[in-house]
Structure 1
């Protein structure tokens, strides 16, 4: 798997952004928010996101949120580090189902983060142990892409993409797709979470996961099963000490961050849940957010790019506003 040092997958690469529960109606998705003092077309991305009305936000389902807590690695830190991952059963249903079984039985608790490679991935879990214990998640049929029969919200044609004929969003997940083949897939953007594997497509599974912590390695698209995205705490992964062995693995002399607990939010006490919302990409205000990223509206920017890459399109997440 990705965690095996002899993996052909690792050697070839020099070694591892959402399916939302949309609460609002389709009519609200097309509503235009009331403009503040300045026209919407004059606001920066940060101003647009700050001004977005409540109907532009969708609450994330706790049954799709994976809470991962691990021992702090910073000197003097007392509070465990916490990362929250939004799972994507619409893209990798079998992997998410298998992961749910492992989480329910505490498979990850007490295991280690085994790898932190600069500008690439953070990795945790143990595929071999999962297989030995009889979990389906140790080795599964790949879910690299899917057949679609629905509409996507595309980025503008002028943006283009090196890795796919079309790009855009589906239910707030960044997606790439091929209209002729009618297949769509998740891209390897910063914070995306995937299941490591060896050479064979069915040689991996959610028992061994990774999160992208650097520049988007889009060449991995449709070569690894992506099953989620970090929506909170990515800084905890990004600031982990780098492993000193090849491909960023921790050596025996380094302290491997130990996972304290990995569990779905729906199985946690309410006091341990974090109520999160994501900005809806099907809301009218989001088109303005994208345009503000193509052509920056701040006074510092002197040259406006006029284009936007899929992995640079913001998908903001916030703590839920009080009702």
Structure 2
């Protein structure tokens, strides 16, 4: 329950956005669920209308991850991804592919978990994985998240199964192997909290400098930007973007969402939970979205803007509801409400793209 009719509010105030993606010369994207997943776009005309109207690039939330595309050692399954790609192409959208390598336990194929072999064998197996998938999609996708979330909160490399078997070598080898097949797609390293965690950002910076020294073919950094209304500060976000900009790498806001509640805050832990999206909160969220996008526009030069992608279409579909808040209450992190009506947050993104003042009115 929103607490107010966001769609009617937008229309009445004259702040409705006609076509968000036309306000940018770079991709304005959204992640989508597919097929039998909850909130799939497939049989949802209202969701499809929002997608077709406002976004120029699509990302599959799940179906291009490892276990979907490569479920068994000698088995690859491209059926769902190809259908998703066709939907993007038929509607004039580019596709940002997510992701070639990710440590998540439920996304690492069982055969990899059970794989026996030394470091060289592991690197060879991962090379086959990356290059087989890259070959299938070469020339069809605009960009890849080549490696996802390989750095720890607090700095250092994540002790994933890939790190245990190969050290950090699997990361740069994934980029080398992807580029050997696809000469044109942008290749991103993608991670969360790199805009706020100083030690994590430093590990990333060191990795990027090492890549440069060894001529590893990376195009840019994906800043997921699962952030909050009150954290991190805009200046902190801008400074993180600048680390990539200073290295002449593209910056992509790759998974943006801004929930009203921050479950890590003292207020939340004390039981101060917002249970209704009041008009005042919706306008505060609008301002926050605007400030983040404006920071992107102000910090990242045009040639290095890889795009801005929001992680989901409507509030009820957000991963935050089930995964972060554990269904404890509703939250409203995205640009459309449950009826696919525009929220003030959409206007906030539009204002940030247009260089307008960020206000809570």
TM-score by length of structure 2 reads 0.24
**Structure with more of its chain in strand, by fraction:** 1
**Structure with more of its chain in helix, by fraction:** 2
**RCO higher in structure (CA 8 A, sep ≥6):** 1
